[in-house]
Amino acid sequence: MADGSSDKGEKPRPILHCGICLEPFNNPKALACLHTFCQDCLVNLVGKKTYLTCPTCRSSVSLPPKGVQGLPDNFWLSELSTSPTRRSSALYWEHLNRSAPSKSADGTERDSGISEGDSTSPNGTLIENDLRPVGTRSKTKARTKVTCGKNIHIDEDVRFFCEQCEETVCEGCLKKHGGHSVCNMEEAQEMRTCEMQSLLGMLTSQVNDLNTGTKKLRDHRKQLQDERGRVESQIRRTAGQWWDAVKLCEEELLKELDRAYEGLRGPLADQQERAEGVSTDIAAMVGQSRGKLKGAGVIEKLTTVRKLGEAHDRVLDAVNEMNSFAAQRIKFSPSMAPGGLGQIVVENKGVPEDKVDKKVTRSSKRSRSTSGPKIDQELLATSPNNVPSPTLQSEESDVEEKLLVRAKVTTIGGNESSEGRIDEPTGVAVSDDGFIFVSDWVKQRVRVYDEDGKFQRNILVEEKNSIVRPARMAFDSYRRQLYVSCTSSSAAVGAKKTVKAYMENGDHLFDISSGLHCPHDLAVCPETGRVVILDTELRTLLTVSSSGRRVRSFSCYRDVTAPPPVCLNSVAIDGNGDIVLADWWYNNVKILKPSGEVQLTFGTPGWEEGHLNRPAGVCVEPAGSIVVADGKNGRVQRFDPAGGRGEELLHGLQAPSCVACARDGRVVVLDEGRKAVLLVEYQEK
């Protein structure tokens, strides 16, 4: 605090007055920053908020549950404000002026330290920049000997205390504290006592609040232990119910096996018995006939020849019947148990986002994998339509036997030379005249093949001072433009994702990056040439013109409970300009108008024909049928334009992720699990 001469033009505020209303304190309340204000002033200042900013130091103060009324009372200022014995500094000046100069030890006259010029005109009010007593005068008490704060006047009786310097002051040093807040020792003792009482009361209240919070934590811990025991019992009970159901299924399957065995054993035994009977009869006849070769007459031999001829016909009939008999086999096709008995869910209701324990509540992070977006098993279990894995392969069979389902399959880029070989395919596209485009993530290029799958040329995907990895693509057959979603990595910028446009000959046209965070898939409208880009991180569809100009964008996924990186995985456009989306999270396909309204949703979670399990890619045939890469089921299916009558085109795949349809009805399939691209020519029934 400056001395009294520094701010003479500014009227100091009385120390016992509120800093808001500038009136004497009325029910003073102390904040956590130790500044004090009237209760009514704080109530008007706070309003309906649960916190306030201190008008003096601007510190943010949280209010207790009871609001301003719950703040601790400042007993010190309250007692000072209401004390009837409070005196002004005039009492001290009056006392000192009446006192005669005293003699020092050497006989010289010693000044008391106060002159007439130092005297001020007191107004009887306690203020900050004036020489005045503060507090109330307590009753006379026995006290210990107190020395002067400066240790100058050792023998002088110390009767005063400077609040500003926090020193004990004798009459000889009183002048040096001119303009300071000075009170007598009794009042200083009483003020310190009041301060201690105020702080003790405040700390006692805070300790009580801390104890209350500790008790709540103990209650929460006990509740958590009870919940753990209850959930453990539920898990064990559910597991027991599953086990009972599995045992029941086992018994039913064994009964069905017995019925199938008996049903197949009967015809097989009858056929075997007939064949053995014919064999026995013919063997006996052959033995008898051999004895008549030399001793029998002509008539007898003629009769024997006739019988042998009949036996020959009988044997032929038996052999033909035996060869035509279809011996049926019994096989068991095991199924995986469902994805789990359930899931453990940690509820974060009412918990601020920054307080959520990330180690307990996991979040999914997008990464490129061989079966579409990568997702933790815990997150998979929370999917509303979680589908167990399809039938296990119990026997190893030939690859072609696995793949062929009324289709002719040609592998593209698998047995080519080093120039045309595909190392890691990540996207496919087909032009109307049959050219096939395959993006190679490792080689950083797009490989072009003819309609028979023969390698033609490369389109280099490159950028100065960057490594560019191509992914999914779309081709505009009218303008002969290729659009590629790419991930560029550089030391200066890091990783960024863009869409690059090329001419068919490989000339780079432009980049599309504005408004995009994670462009994952894209499609070209055959009528307008506009490009629709699916951003899986923003959950938006961005439409741009053939020159890269932004046309519109809208949110394509409004379910905030599903993690953005795995909601939608592929986009296509049908002949009407409607947008077709493969929903990886809900195992279905959505058809949207160009403006974003959902027209149709089809698809049922499962692994039977017509069901979907993590669809990863989608395309539309010229006739309007929708082809879906059924990722987790390892197959490709085709649905009619209304979403009904799903049929299997190809199965036995590991992780089909992309599909593209040619005008002649053939389908190009990318199997990321095998790192292979297949050209499928579907054969109608």
Which pLDDT band holds residue 129 (cuts at 50, 70, 90)? Answer: very low
Residue that has been written with the tokens 């069905």 in this structure: 256
Question: Rounded to the nearest 5°, which phi and psi values hold at 183?
Answer: -135, 170
Which pLDDT band holds residue 146 (cuts at 50, 70, 90)? Answer: low
Span between the terminal Cα atoms of the chain, in Å: 99
Which pLDDT band holds residue 670 (cuts at 50, 70, 90)? Answer: very high
Find the helix or strand (DSSP H, E) in which 289 lies: helix 185-295
The dihedral through the CA atoms of 392, 398, 403, 407 has a sign that is negative
Q: What is the rounded CA–CA span in Å between residue 440 and residue 434?
A: 19
| Burial 154-193, CB ≥16 within 10 A → b, else e | eebebbbbbbebebbbbbbbbeebbbbbbbbbbbbbbbee
The string of pLDDT tens digits covering residues 2-29 is: 344 434 444 555 667 888 998 888 899 9
Partners of 519 in the β-ladder: 535
Question: Rounded to the nearest 5°, which phi and psi values hold at 17?
Answer: -110, 145
Which pLDDT band holds residue 521 (cuts at 50, 70, 90)? Answer: very high
Q: What is the rounded CA–CA span in Å between residue 166 and residue 154?
A: 18
pLDDT reported for residue 565: 43
CATH architecture type of domain 399-682: 6 Propeller (2.120)
Amino acid at 52: L
Segment 84-101 mean pLDDT? 44
pLDDT reported for residue 126: 41
pLDDT reported for residue 239: 81
Please state, as a whole number, how many other Cβ atoms lie within 10 Å of the Cβ of residue 501.
21
pLDDT reported for residue 108: 45
Residue that has been written with the tokens 């023998």 in this structure: 155
Partners of 656 in the β-ladder: 671
Residue that has been written with the tokens 């503060």 in this structure: 134
Q: By the 8 A CB rule, do 634 and 643 touch?
A: no
Find the helix or strand (DSSP H, E) in which 563 lies: none
Q: 611-612 and 604-605 as β-strands: parallel, antiparallel, unpaired?
A: parallel
pTM exceeds 0.75 for this model? no
Partners of 470 in the β-ladder: 486
Q: Work out the mean pLDDT of the chain and round it to a whole number.
A: 77
pLDDT surpasses 60 at 240 = yes
Contacts of 75 (CB under 8 A, 6+ apart): 194, 197, 198, 201
Range 563-566 contact pairs with CB under 8 angstroms and sequence separation of 24 or more: 563/363, 563/364, 563/375, 563/379, 564/536, 564/537, 564/538, 564/539, 565/364, 565/365, 565/366, 565/373, 565/375, 565/518, 565/536, 565/537, 566/364, 566/366, 566/372, 566/373, 566/375, 566/379, 566/536
Cα three-residue angle 605-610-612, rounded to 5 degrees: 35
Helix, strand, coil shares, percent, the chain, to 5: 30, 25, 45
pLDDT reported for residue 353: 62
Find the helix or strand (DSSP H, E) in which 510 lies: strand 508-512
Please state, as a whole number, how many other Cβ atoms lie within 10 Å of the Cβ of residue 571.
24
